Amino acid sequence: MIYAAVGVLVLTVVQGFDDTERLTAVTSSQAMLRWAVPIMLAGLGGLFSERAGVVNIGLEGMLILGTWFGAWGAINYGGWAGLLIGMLGGGLGGLIHAVATVSFGVDHIISGVAINVTAPGVTRFLSSEILTNYDGGSITQSPRTPGVGRFTFPFLAGGDLFGWTTPDILGWFTDKDWFFVSDFTGLARGLVSQLSLATMIAFALVPASAWLIWRTRFGLRLRICGEHPVGGETQGINIYLYKYLGVVISGALAGLGGAFIASPELSGIYLEGQTNGRGFIGLAALIFGNWRPGGIMAGALLFGYPFGVGLRDLDGSASHALLLVNTIALAAVLAWALYRRRRIDAGLAAGLGLGAAVWYFMSTTVPDWWISILPFVIVLVVLVFFSQRLRMPRADGLPYRKGEA
Amino acid sequence: MLAIELTGITKRFPGVVANDDINLEVAEGEIHAICGENGAGKSTLMKILYGMQPPDSGTIRIQGEEVELHSPAQAIELGIGMVHQHFMLADQFTVLENVILGAEPMRSLGRIDFDAGREHLDEVGRAYGLDINADDLVESLEVGERQRVEIIKVLYRGAEILILDEPTAVLVPQEVDELFRNIRELKASGATILFIDHKLDEVLEIADTITVLRQGRTVGTVKPDQVTAHDLAEMMIGSELPVPDAGESTVTEEVALELSGLRVAAEGDRAVVDDVSLSVHRGEIVGIAGVEGNGQAELVNAIIGIQDPDQGTITLLGRDITHVSVRHRREMGLGYVPQDRHRDGLLLGFTLWENAALGHQTEAPYSRGPWLSRPGMRGRANRIKDEFDVRTPNIEVSAHALSGGNQQKLILGREMVAGPAVLIANHPTRGIDVGAQAAVWDDIREARSRGLATLLVSADLDELIGLSDTIVVMLRGRLVARLDPNDITPRDLGAYMTGAALEAGAP
C-alpha cells in the first residue's frame, strides 16, 4: 500500500511537469487492471507448474489456446462458458506439456517451445475449419464475443446496493481536483468501479492460490515436487501425479487468461496473434514475484500499467512522461545499489537512468514504436535488477525419474 | 519371530550385479548391522527393502508375511521407515512440513492441521529424546539436527522397522555417541533396527548381529562378541584395511601457497570465510578439518578462483593471484581435485582422453596454438591410465563407464601429470572403495616427497590424521586451532570441530 502511494505520488509529480493527465486517469487504472489480468493468470499458471518442478515456457501457447477456445465457447454458449472452455483449452496444452516432460522426460524448455510453436498452428487450423463458417468470422478472427457481468463497489465508487445507489466517495474526492489526493482516488476508483466479474475472479485467485499452496495437503505435496521430489518419493508421495496436476492447473489458468483476452474486457474477439507475448510477461511476473502469488500480482500490475497507459496514448505524451518516471525509478535503484555497494548494478542504473533523462528533456513526445515496446523494456529492466536475490524452487526444471534415487 | 527375512535377492544394473542371491534374517527387536565396502550392494539392498527398486528375483518377508514392494508408500504401510544416506529433506520446508509430508493430519477442505502435526511431532520427540524445534527451516539446521529430523520423520509414521543407511558418515564422534544413544532407546521401545556402516569399531559397539556383504553377496552373519575388527575387515575385503600413514616428514622452508587475512562474504555480507591466514610449504600436506558447511567450500573456491574474496590476499609461489583468473592460476601450477567429481571434476558423457585434458586444454601437449591436439590428449590420457592405474578397457570409453574410484584416479592423474606446485584436494577419497582410496593416498604421498604442497580438505578424520603434516580446524569460517596429527585422536579432533574443546578451554 505504501509502495503504491509512493508510486502514485511520483506519477502525479511527473504529470505536473508534463502536459498530460493520462498517468493517473481512471481509464489508465482500469486499463492497467484489464491488462494485468491475463499476465497475472499466466503468472499464476507458471506458479503451479514451477512449484511442481516443471518449467513452463509454454504459457504463451496455452494462452493462445485459451483465446481460441474461450472465444469459441463464448460465441456458442455465452460468456461464462467461454471462460470455462478457455480453461479446458489451456488445460489441454498443459496436459501435453505434462505428458512430454513428466512421463517422457523431454527437456522442459524444448517441450514448452514446441507448444508455443504448435498452438498458433492448431488455432489457425481450427479457425479454418470452424470460424470461417460463422457470420463475421474468418481464418484469423472470430465474430464478437459476449462477456460476463460487471460490478461496481457500493460506497467506494457509488455502486448499487439492493436497488439503492450508494454515494460515490472516491468519485467525490477525484472531482475536487486536489493535488495527489485526487490523483490517488482517481486511480483507486478505477479499480473498484465497473469491474468485470471475470476480473474479480482473477484477483480472487491470488489469495486462493496462496491458500492452496501453503495451507493444504495438495499444496505441500505439490511443493515437494519442486523442492526435493526424491524426498517426497521416499515418503510415499506419487510425484508424477502431483506434477501432472500442477502442470494441468498451470495450463488451465493460462487458458483462463487467454479467454479473458478474447472476452470484451480486452478485445471482444478472437484475433490471431492477439496474446502479444503476454505468456512470457506472465513468466516475468512469476520471477519478479519470487514464485509467490502476491508478488505475481504486483508484477502483473507493474507490467500491465505501461500497456494500459500506452493503449490510448495516441500522441505519445503519456509514454513520454513515463520516461521521467523511469528515470526516477532508476535513480532509486542507483541509490540502493550504491548503498549495498553493488558496482555493476549502480553503473547500469546510472547509465539507463541518464539515457532516459536525456531523452526526456531533449524531446516532447516519443515515436509510436516506443509506445509499443516500452512495456517490454520495463519488464527487461525490472528483471535485470530484481532477479538477483530470488530463489526459485530448488528442483525446478530438473528431470525426475521414479526409483532412480 | 523374524522381522525381516530376505531370500535369494538378486538385482542387476547394466553391467553390474549389485545384489547376487542375498539372504538376510533380522530378528524382531535387534540392532542388525550390515557391513561392506562401498559398492558391496548395501544401499541397493536397503532400497529394495524400502520399495524404491524392485528386485529381479527373490522374496521378501516382513513379520512372516511374504510381500511384494512396489513403492515406499507400501513399505511405510508395513511399518518400515528409512533414513537415507543423503538426507531427503527439503531445505525450504520447516521441520514440521518435512515430517508430516505424506502423513498429513487433516482438517476440512483439504487443509492441513498443522497444530495437530506439531503436537504429535513434539510427542514423538519427547518419547525418544529427540529434541528439535518444529518450526525451524531445515536450511538453518546443522547436520546432526537434520539427521534427527530424518529419524523423527520415520517414527512419526509409527515405523517399527528402521533402516539407517550409513548414518554416521556425516557425523563427528560426539554426534555419533548421541545417535547411538537414540538408537538404543529405540531398541528399548521395541523397534527393529537395520544399520548400515563400514566403520568397524562403530559396528562392534552398537550391533547385536552383523551381516557382511562383499561384491553383492552375503559373506556371513556373526555376533559382535565372537569377532574382532580385524576379522570383520577380512570378511569385508578379503584382506586387512589400509591405513593412511604419512611416513617421514618432507616439509621444506619454502612457502608455496600463502593465504593472508582472507575473507569471503556470502549473501547479506555475512563472512563465511573470516580472516583466514595459512601457509602451505613445499613438501607439506596441510589438512583442514571441520564439520561441513563451516566455510571450507568457500575457502577452496576462493583459492582456485571461482569465488572472489572480499579481503585478503592469496599468494602462489610468491606471486599475488588474488584476482587472477582460474585458467591463469592453473597454468601457474595450481591443481584441484573437486569434492563432487560428477559435477565439477568430469564430463561424464565425454571420453577419457577428452576428460584428461579438461582444465589444461590450453597447454601443451593438449593443444598446439589455437587447436586442440588429439594425439597429445590421447598420449597423456594413456600415460595417466598407466601411471595412475585407471582400470578401463581403453581411453575411448566415456567417463561414466568407470567406477567412482577409477574416475577419481583419472582426475588425480590429470592434475598430477601437469606437475602442479600446489594441489587442492577436496575430499579426495569420498565415496570410493578401499583399494582406490589407498592408491589416492599413495599418489598424494609420493607427490609430497617430490615437493608438492597439498591442502587437504576431508571429512574422514583418519585420513586427515594419517596423511597431514599439520591439521587446522575450521569453525564458522575461522581457523580456530592448529594441531599436530602425531598427538591427536579422531575423538579429540571431533571435539575441536564442534567447538566443544575450545569451550572447555583445551589448548
Task: Write the pLDDT tens digit of every residue in A43-88.
Answer: 999 999 999 999 999 999 999 999 999 999 999 998 899 999 999 9
- Is the pLDDT score of A100 beyond 60? yes
pLDDT band at B369 (very low <50, low <70, confident <90, very high): confident
The predicted model gives B390-416 an average pLDDT of 87
d(CA A221, CA B104): 10
pLDDT band at A303 (very low <50, low <70, confident <90, very high): confident
Check B52 against A405: CB less than 8 A apart.
Answer: yes
pLDDT at site B506:
45
Share of chain B above pLDDT 70, in %: 95
Check B91 against A394: CB less than 8 A apart.
Answer: yes
DSSP letters along B319-388, please?
EE-TT--HHHHHHTTEEEE-S-IIIII--TTSBHHHHHHTT-TTSTTTEETTEE-HHHHHHHHHHHHHHT
| Candidates B72, B109, B110; nearest CB to A235 | B72
DSSP state of B252: -
The predicted model gives B230-255 an average pLDDT of 74
- Mean pLDDT score of chain A, rounded to an integer? 87
pLDDT at site A179:
77
Q: Where does residue A282 rank: exposed (0-12), middle (13-18), buried (19+ CB within 10 A)?
A: buried
- Is the pLDDT score of A1 beyond 80? no
d(CA A217, CA A211): 11
Best mutation target, B44, B53, B80, B88, to test chain A (most A CBs within 10 A): B88
Q: Is A343 on the interface with B (CB under 8 A)?
A: no
Output the nine-digit C-alpha cell for A27.
481509464
Output the nine-digit C-alpha cell for B257.
601457497
A322-342 pLDDT, tens digit per residue, is 778 888 888 888 888 888 777
Helix/strand/coil percentages in chain A, nearest 5: 70, 5, 25
- Is the pLDDT score of B255 beyond 60? yes
Output the nine-digit C-alpha cell for A354.
541518464
Check A227 against B104: CB less than 8 A apart.
Answer: no
Best mutation target, B101, B104, B115, B164, to test chain A (most A CBs within 10 A): B101
Domain ranges of chain A: 23-152+194-307
Would you tell me the crossing angle of helices A239-262 and A79-98 to the nearest 10 degrees? 140
Residue B366: CB partners within 8 Å, gap ≥ 6?
B357, B360, B372, B373, B376, B377, B380
Q: Which CATH architecture has domain A23-152+194-307?
A: Orthogonal Bundle (1.10)
- Mean pLDDT score of chain B, rounded to an integer? 87
- Judged by average pLDDT, the poorest of A60-69, A308-317, A390-399 is A308-317
Distance from the B155 Cα atom to the nearest Cα atom in chain A, whole angstroms = 12
pTM listed for this prediction: 0.80
List CB contacts (< 8 A) between A235 and chain B. Answer: 72, 76, 88, 101-103, 153
pLDDT at site B268:
65
Per-range mean pLDDT, top range of A274-288, A300-314, B232-246, B426-440: A274-288
- Is the pLDDT score of A116 beyond 90? yes
Check B102 against A231: CB less than 8 A apart.
Answer: no
Q: Which domains does chain B have, with CATH numbers?
A: 2-237 (3.40.50.300), 255-503 (3.40.50.300)
Peptide bond into B365 cis (omega under 30): yes
- Is the pLDDT score of B100 beyond 90? yes
A339-375 pLDDT, tens digit per residue, is 877 788 888 888 888 888 888 888 877 777 877 788 7
The predicted model gives A205-221 an average pLDDT of 95
Q: Which residue of B has its CA nearest to A227?
A: B90
**Geometric angle at alpha carbon B276, from B275 and B278, rounded to 5°:** 145
Alpha-carbon Rg for chain A, nearest whole angstrom, is 22
Largest alpha-carbon pair distance within chain B? Answer: 73
B263-271 long-range contacts, CB within 8 A, separation 24+: B263/B309, B263/B310, B263/B311, B263/B312, B264/B295, B264/B298, B264/B299, B264/B301, B264/B302, B264/B307, B264/B308, B264/B309, B264/B310, B265/B310, B266/B298, B267/A389, B271/B310, B271/B477
Q: Which residue of B has its CA nearest to A390?
A: B267
Q: Is A292 on the interface with B (CB under 8 A)?
A: no
Place of cell 528409512: B82
d(CA B321, CA B277): 15
d(CA B370, CA B387): 28
Check A227 against B72: CB less than 8 A apart.
Answer: no
d(CA A215, CA B109): 10
d(CA A203, CA B447): 67
pLDDT at site A241:
96
d(CA B11, CA B21): 8
Is B187 within 8 Å of B29 (Cβ atoms)?
yes
Per-range mean pLDDT, top range of A154-168, A211-225, B232-246: A211-225
Check A236 against B76: CB less than 8 A apart.
Answer: yes
The predicted model gives B445-458 an average pLDDT of 92
Output the nine-digit C-alpha cell for B183.
538408537
Residue B173 region, left (φ>0) first, then alpha (ψ -120 to 50), else beta? alpha
- Is the pLDDT score of B507 beyond 50? no
d(CA B498, CA B173): 10
Check A217 against B72: CB less than 8 A apart.
Answer: no
d(CA A37, CA A300): 7
- Is the pLDDT score of A18 beyond 70? no
Is B48 within 8 Å of B54 (Cβ atoms)?
yes
The predicted model gives A173-200 an average pLDDT of 81
Check B101 against A389: CB less than 8 A apart.
Answer: no
